[in-house]
Amino acid sequence: MTRVLLLPLLAALLFAGCTGDGGKADAGAEEITITGAGASFPYPLISKWSYEYHKLKPNIKINYQSIGSGGGIKQTMAKTVDFGASDAPLKEEEYRKMEGILHIPETIGAVVVVYNLPGVENKLRLSGEVVADIFLGKITKWNDPRIVELNPHVDLPDEQIIVVHRSDGSGTTFVFSDYLSAVSPEWREKVGKGKSLSWPLGLGGKGNEGVSGLVKQNPYSIGYVELAYAIENRISYARIKNRAGNFVEPSIESVAAAAAGAVATLPKGDESWAKVSIVNAPGENAYPISSFTYLLVYRDLAVIPGMTEAKAKALVEFLWWVIHDGQKYAPELHYAPLPEEVVKLNEETIRLITYQGKSLL
Amino acid sequence: MKLRVPSFSILNGKSWKFTHDTLFQIFLGVISIISVIVLAALLLRELIKGSWPALSTFGLEFLFSTAWNPVTGEFGALPFIYGTIVSSMLALLIGVPLSLGIAVYLTEIASSRVRAILSPVVELLAAIPSVIIGLWGIFVLAPFVREHLAPPLMNYLGFLPLFKGPAYGYSVLTAGLVLAIMIIPIISSVSREAILAVPSLQKEGALALGATRFETIISVVLPYAKGAIFGAVMLGLGRAIGETMAVTMVIGNNPQIFTSLLHPGYTMAAVIANEFTEATDDVYLAALIEIGLVLFAISMVVNIIARVITWKYLKLEEGLS
């Protein structure tokens, strides 16, 4: 009986082995593995890219480890990976330390303000100043006149607001605090922006799942998570007042609009991006809590130990594919595709990449 | 007890045995001492080297400061030390009586059939990964604490600073409960072994003198096994101090010092797990490593105290017998 079952299984395995080898033989090219490390925020998208690109070019494997932006920057600095990824641009001093580093924004993410108010689903409107004062502990009740003023048609309860934030260091916190610093001078002075903060009050949840769990379980709470996470878990989120004065719902379109609005102010790929921020971007329909996330690549790839010309060429071709064809995979994963102007900027940046001074494209 | 080595005709039996045994003993001794010392020294060296930027910036102030601000680069470990100690003590307070009850019941009272079913179940608790216990904490225990445990505590004991509201469910108390669940299997199984090792002559003697079962357990069994039980408790404490994932998920991660057990807190292991991956700044990273150093030191001290006390008891028992 077992033998009867085993035989086809063995046959199938053998057959699978054959086709596997056959595929390799067809490609007829050298196996190349490109390694990258860094931010966990773009991980789902990068892993989709590496899967699709491997289907396209079976001899090239992209191995991306989502160890966090901090680790990504450190490994890029130590030149132990072929490319890094970070949610925040390099700080001025990091940029100066890593000679010849290039920033390539690869996609756009957004942070949404989520809340748990029984009976008020997705109707709440908030402004940046009000959000900042809630997270500073200055607005403590849901029926505070300043919230009522923004929501005249919503029945707001006389309840204490429970503030929830991320406890782990994360790019999400960076973008959120970058926005609050941009709209509230008091926030900028008392708390500032960073991946981890000294929070004036509130509960800390680990990861997006920790924050959304706390918000879902505690009525009258407010927190912030990534856009994709809020959409997939159907948590109520607020419309945020943008610079043009409109209340904008977070969506792929409104996030892309924010990036397009900021294009004119972007530096070149080989300059410092430390001051780049697309929070509170101008534009009628721009969602104000948005941010680029970056790939970090050295201008001359020969500085990385073990790099060969073939590998450098493969990496550059992969980057080129990412900013063009790769962008079509972004919307299904709730990332906003890059606006055309940013793609153009990235094209220039990628053309700068060389191997021992030799152009690769 | 000496091992008998058969003598060989070629060599003088006695001298062969001497060199063979002594060499072997020295060999094993050197191996065990070197491996322990080298490991501990390497660990300590790495921790001190890694935390040097913070050690030299903050000095002793680090241990007493309550500031933790990665944006401005001010770091102090006191809230984390406080949270670790309070949550671990709470875990012992809840876990030790339960564990001892389980151990006594399984060894002295339960029928062999009940024992055969119950003891593996208790030990199985130890096999649950801590992240699973943490998830259970988020979805079951934290809501339970918020809705059913905290309200009566606040109503009847709210006059004590220990039980002041508001209660969010994510608190030092919840962390203590989760830790108690995690240390029960360790403490109860080690104490069970200790109680099993109590000679039956002792128990029979007490029973023959007319002691009830309860009196026998209280006045003969537990005192006899005291040293080993204490060791078991310290093992549990060691686990509670170092536990990371489950605590991070339920403690609320708030680096401030509150007297209320219903308020969120933070532990040393939790802050390392939370912030290590995204710490880019040198001093920030060093401060996290220094927290690791403090955690290492506290665990060492706890273990040394446990050893010393266990030795004392053992000596006492040797003296008695």
Q: Which residue ranges form the domains of chain B, and what is each CATH number?
A: 59-318 (1.10.3720.10)
Q: What are phi and psi of A240, to 5 degrees?
A: -110, 140
Please indicate if any CB of chain A lies within 8 Å of the CB of B278. Answer: yes
Tell me what the mean pLDDT of segment A176-199 comes to: 93
Q: How many CB atoms lie within 10 A of CB A169?
A: 25
CA-to-CA separations, B317 to A351, B198, B213, B220, in angstroms, rounded: 80, 12, 23, 13
What is residue B308's predicted lDDT score, i.e. its pLDDT?
83
Q: Binning pLDDT at 50, 70 and 90, where does residue B227 land?
A: confident
Of A233, A205, A25, whose CA–CA distance to B266 is shortest? Answer: A205
User: Quick one: tokens of B49?
Assistant: 């080297």
Closest CA to A287 of A346, A334, A345, A319: A334
Question: Which residues of chain A does B71 touch, with a Cβ-Cβ cutoff of 8 Å?
Answer: 191-194, 197-198
Strands A101-116 and A162-166: unpaired
Distance from CA of B281 to the nearest CA of A (A): 9
pLDDT at A145 over 90: yes
Over chain B, what HEC string results?
CCCCCCCCCCCCHHHHHHHHHHHHHHHHHHHHHHHHHHHHHHHHHHHHHHHHHHHHHHCCHHHHCCCEECCCCEECCHHHHHHHHHHHHHHHHHHHHHHHHHHHHHHHHCCHHHHHHHHHHHHHHCCCCHHHHHHHHHHHHHHHHHHHHHHHHHHHHCCCHHHCCCCCCCCHHHHHHHHHHHHHHHHHHHHHHHHHCCCHHHHHHHHHCCCCHHHHHHHHHHHHCHHHHHHHHHHHHHHHHHCCHHHHHHCCCCCCCCCCCCCCCCCHHHHHHHHCCCCCCHHHHHHHHHHHHHHHHHHHHHHHHHHHHHHHHHHHHHHHC
| Any B CB within 8 A of A160 CB | yes
Q: What band does A1 get if pLDDT is binned at 50, 70 and 90?
A: very low
The answer to whether A45 and A12 are in contact (CB under 8 A) is no
CA distances from A235 to A109, A115, A289, A290, B143 (A): 17, 7, 17, 19, 18
3-state secondary structure of B271: helix
Rg value, chain B, Cα: 25
Q: Is pLDDT at B127 greater than 50 in this prediction? A: yes
Between B21 and A83, where is the model more confident?
Answer: A83
Confidence band for B17, pLDDT divided at 50, 70 and 90? low
A12 pLDDT more than 60:
no
Query: Looking at residue A119, what is its pLDDT?
Result: 83
The encoded tokens of residue B279 equal 């710490």
Calculate ∠ Cα A265-A268-A270, nearest 5°. Answer: 145
Q: Would the pLDDT of B13 be above 90?
A: no
DSSP conformation class of A296: E
Please tell me which of the candidates A67, A206, A213 has its beta carbon nearest to residue B248: A206
What chain A residue is nearest to B276 in terms of C-alpha separation?
A169
Note the pLDDT of residue A131.
96
Written as one string, the DSSP assignment of B184-205 is HHHHHHHHHHHHHTS-HHHHHH
Task: Give the pLDDT mean for B234-250.
Answer: 91
Element holding B211 (H helix, E strand): none
Please name the residues between 204 and 243 in chain A that touch chain B, using a CB distance below 8 Å.
Answer: 204-206, 210, 213-214, 217-218
Mean pLDDT of chain B: 87
Beta strands in B160-236 (DSSP E): none
A140 touches chain B (CB under 8 A): no
A196 CA to chain B: closest CA distance, Å?
6
Q: Is B2 helix (H, G, I), strand (E, B) or coil?
A: coil
Which pLDDT belongs to residue A25? 41
Query: What is the pLDDT, as a whole number, of residue A10?
Result: 46
Q: Does B168 touch chain A (CB under 8 A)?
A: yes
Is the pLDDT assigned to residue A178 strictly greater than 90?
yes
CB-CB contact of B70 with B275 (8 Å): yes
Instruction: Please state the pTM of the whole predicted model.
Output: 0.80
Long-range contacts of B213-217 (CB under 8 A, 24+ apart): B213/B108, B213/B109, B217/B104, B217/B108
Nearest to B248 by CA among A214, A197, A113: A214
Share of chain A above pLDDT 70, in %: 92
Task: Indicate whether A295 pLDDT > 70.
Answer: yes
Confidence of residue B318 (pLDDT cuts 50, 70, 90): low
Report residue A223's pLDDT band, with 50, 70 and 90 as the boundaries. Answer: very high
* Model confidence at A127: pLDDT above 90: yes
pLDDT at A14: 45
Cα(A69)–Cα(A168) distance, integer angstroms = 12
Over pLDDT 90: what percentage of chain B? 44
Q: Could you tell me which of B47, B43, B44, B40 has the C-alpha nearest to residue B291?
A: B47
User: Which of residues A93 and B319 earns the better pLDDT score?
Assistant: A93
pLDDT of residue A246 exceeding 70, the answer is yes
- Report the pLDDT averaged over residues B195-212: 90
Q: Is B50 helix (H, G, I), strand (E, B) or coil?
A: helix
Mean pLDDT confidence for A199-211: 88
Per-residue pLDDT reduced to its tens digit, B156-166: 888 888 888 78
* Pairwise CA distance, residues B268 & B68, whole Å: 12
ipTM for this model: 0.76
Show which of residues 183-242 on chain B sit within 8 Å of chain A, judged by CB atoms.
none
Q: Which residue has the higher pLDDT, A37 or A228?
A: A37
Q: Does the pLDDT of residue A98 top 60, yes or no? A: yes
Residue B174 forms contact with A (CB below 8 Å): no
Mean pLDDT, residues A235-245: 92
Q: For residue range B256-310, what is the model confidence (pLDDT) as tens digits?
A: 888 899 999 999 999 999 888 778 788 898 999 999 999 999 988 888 887 887 7
Tokens of residue B9, six digits: 């005709």
A2 touches chain B (CB under 8 A): no
Query: What are A110-125's pLDDT values in tens digits?
Result: 999 999 998 888 789 9
- pLDDT for A3: 47
Query: Which pLDDT tens digit goes with each residue over B94-112?
Result: 999 999 999 999 998 999 8
Mean pLDDT of A254-261: 88
Q: What Cα–Cα distance (Å) separates residue B237 from each residue in B81, B230, B247?
A: 14, 10, 14
> What whole-number distance in Å separates Cα of residue A130 and Cα of residue A161?
13
Which pLDDT band, with edges at 50, 70 and 90, does A84 fall under?
very high
